[in-house]
Amino acid sequence: MHTQSVKNRKLLAVLFGLGLTALAVIVLAVDSSSATVERGDLAGDAQSSAKGEIAAGVSQFSILRPVDSVAPGEIPPSVASVLAEMPATEDGQGRGVVEALGTVVPTDSLASQITVAEVSGRLCVLATGNEYQGAALGSCFSRAEAVAGQGYVAIQGLAKDSVRVIGLAPDGVAKVAIAGGAGGEEVAVAGNVYEADVVEAPTTVSGLTAAGDVSFRTQLPLAGGAE
């Protein structure tokens, strides 16, 4: 029991380090004075973006739609504020262009509202909910990382010593199998997104098609962190 407790604490420490450092978790609390974002601020220069760049994300993640087809009220204000300030590159040079957006509301397998955005060719996942105290929590990944099951955010879970993992899954993945310690569970994918509270280490996440074929398999945390 003591050994398992130590493993759990190590999982928390490593995943939080990954989420807060390697994946650069975004935490932005907004007040009423900054809750309204003009549509032009959200879209940036999206109209000048090549159609092929938009189609690339949409073709693998059908939750995404071109930004000009998303209703302004569909994106939570805290998420819109984050997107309006998103840098174009990881080093923060230039302003990011929001090319496509999609949202999924809480379901049986999702406790939070999740927004997925394609920003300057990268995919971002941003979670909002009452448990986040008005903040938007998330991170961005390359499309290749997301397709390989390596696009996820790790934050504090509701249960003690647990980590909530919110991840992206490409089209065709119906559910993810989460295996760790002595047991495991399967979680449905809703709108290219899955969410699970992880309490045991090591943990493997496998993306499964409706036929049960494995689309991806990744270990949490990723060896060496995100590149």
Question: Residue 41: how many CB atoms within 10 A of its CB?
Answer: 15
The DSSP string of 141-191 is E-HHHHHTT--EEEEE-SSTT-EEEEEE--TT--EEEEEETTEEEEEE-BT
Determine the Cα–Cα distance for residues 103 and 50; give it in Å rounded to an integer. 22
Beta bridge partner(s), residue 218: 205
Give me the pLDDT at residue 87, please.
86
The residue extents of the domains of the chain are 2-220
pTM of this prediction? Answer: 0.74
Q: Would you give per-residue pLDDT tens digits along the chain (227 residues)?
A: 444 444 444 444 444 444 433 333 443 333 323 333 333 345 443 333 333 333 344 468 999 999 999 987 889 999 999 998 888 877 777 889 999 999 998 888 788 899 999 999 999 999 988 777 778 889 999 999 999 999 998 887 766 777 888 999 999 999 999 886 556 789 999 999 999 888 766 688 999 999 999 999 988 875 433 33
Give me the pLDDT at residue 226, please.
36
Determine the Cα–Cα distance for residues 209 and 151; give it in Å rounded to an integer. 18
Determine the Cα–Cα distance for residues 16 and 37; give it in Å rounded to an integer. 30
Q: Which CATH superfamily is domain 2-220 in?
A: Immunoglobulins (2.60.40.10)
Which ranges of the chain does DSSP label H, i.e. alpha helix?
A: 2-17, 39-43, 51-60, 77-84, 143-147
Which residue reads 């249960």 in tokens?
159
